[in-house]
């Protein structure tokens, strides 16, 4: 399921572009699907995720020991710095998010809860493994925090990052951590 989560970035970028093309009639059509596909495939975070998966498949446990300090110890530090930077971006853009009103706030709360609960309840048709079902529900309730916002800036340069970054990181992410994950796990069991 971790591999599925990593690989879902690519189709999310494509689907976002398709939806923008379909519903945004005023959008500049100079960015085409080919450019978005190229960006989705060559995006640094997507390449790192896919590369990590390939290394994980190819490397044996002895080879993995050699990079353990980088993949365990230093990774936590880099993750903390990344999350701190994303938090600072969210705080800087939160005033723009508030301007959009109550609807986007409620959407950022209710949609992930609905998706996560629905998948938690329906995932028994796919798997009997509790952990797999739980991760699947988390995926359904989550937003992309890395590759998709960067790609959407290319596909929809007029869109307001002050709306989607705080929505994902300031509302949906903390909601899932505090309320969503325990709820989805309870429903999966």
CB-based contacts of 38, cutoff 8 Å, min separation 6: none
User: Which pair of structure tokens corresponds to residue 107?
Assistant: 């959407």
- The span from the CA of 20 to the CA of 110, in Å, is 22
Selected residue with higher pLDDT from 6 and 111: 111
Average of pLDDT values for 99-105? 86
* 3-class DSSP assignment, residue 60: coil
* 3-class DSSP assignment, residue 165: helix
- The span from the CA of 125 to the CA of 117, in Å, is 14
Q: Give per-residue pLDDT as tens, 115-137.
A: 999 999 999 999 999 998 998 89
Structural domain count, the chain: 1
Range of the domain at 176: 2-188
Q: What is the pLDDT of residue 178?
A: 94
Question: pLDDT-derived band of residue 84, with 50, 70 and 90 as boundaries?
Answer: confident
Specify the pTM. Answer: 0.69
Binning the chain into helix, strand and coil, the percentages to the nearest 5 are 85, 0, 15
User: Residues 186, 134: contact at Cβ < 8 Å?
Assistant: no
Tell me what the pLDDT averaged over the chain comes to: 80
Long-range contacts of 170-174, Cβ-Cβ distance < 8 Å, separation of 24 or more: 170/90, 170/91, 170/94, 170/97, 171/105, 171/108, 171/109, 172/108, 172/109, 172/112, 172/141, 172/142, 172/143, 173/142, 173/143, 173/145
């Amino acid at each position: 399921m971790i591999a599925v989560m990593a690989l879902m970035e690519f189709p999310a970028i494509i689907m976002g572009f398709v939806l923008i093309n379909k519903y945004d009639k005023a959008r500049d059509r100079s960015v085409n699907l080919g450019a978005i596909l190229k960006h989705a495939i060559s995006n640094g975070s997507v390449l790192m995720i896919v590369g990590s998966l390939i290394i994980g498949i190819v490397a044996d446990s002895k080879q993995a020991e050699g990079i353990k300090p980088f993949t365990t110890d230093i990774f936590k530090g880099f993750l903390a710095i990344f999350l701190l930077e994303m938090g600072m971006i969210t705080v800087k853009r939160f005033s723009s998010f508030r301007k959009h009103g109550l609807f986007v706030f409620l959407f950022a709360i209710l949609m992930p809860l609905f998706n996560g609960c629905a998948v938690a309840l329906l995932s028994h048709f796919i798997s009997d493994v509790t952990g797999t079902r739980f991760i699947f529900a988390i995926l359904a309730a989550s937003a992309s925090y890395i590759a998709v916002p960067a790609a959407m800036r290319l596909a929809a340069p007029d869109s307001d990052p002050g709306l989607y970054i705080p929505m994902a990181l300031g509302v949906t992410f903390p909601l899932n951590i505090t309320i969503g994950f325990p709820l989805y796990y309870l429903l999966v069991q």
